[in-house]
Structure 1
């Protein structure tokens, strides 16, 4: 982007070039515009600027609606979802499991199965969903 900025290429053209070269919607036009503004200010470093603490604002008000969150963070619903946030029982939570969450799941499995069962040890607790699939076979006489 920095190489294209001094050449006079528009932010929209650069956005289209990047998306065509890598993947559809890999970068948004508004993001390229912000980078162009930084370049014009003389900031050519690739380091991100300090953030305004959006997640701390979310933790302070966990029962906020998605519309209120959009207004507070000045971003779209899609961006909120891409951050990996999910609303569960009217409280925003991260979709990622912590090591403590994973250990708790193993502990519950250990308490539910007989002491000599290897079943809980064979399951890795992670961000997966399990579905029981029962194949019924019909015997023809």
Structure 2
């Protein structure tokens, strides 16, 4: 039998990790993890590659994405002439600190734009709801005059 591989999305809430969902492909699991982390409902999110070999009964788990890990964030990037060792674990997929700063500034503008759009939409919903209530309240009087 072939080796079975699944990608599990784990979430950290209240100090304990829980498996949120599983996916057959790495990219799909990481996208879900990023969206869950963006929702701010969890303290951290990670993706674990779970490999199981039914012939030997051996399993192996490797963390491929982790928002709680600080590995690689505090270390400088390796020089171009240094080759990464094969035994070294995969670095987290988070952007470099300088990229995060630029991205944060970029997101701030889109956050304000989104806040304005949501505010306008809420005002429209409020006005529409009040208009509907007004029409329903006065509809009884209008129908009594007609009949």
More strand by share: 2
Task: Please say whether Structure 1 and Structure 2 have the same fold, judged by a TM-score greater than 0.5.
Answer: no
Tell which structure's C-alpha radius of gyration is larger: 2
Using structure 1 for the length normalisation, give the TM-score: 0.22
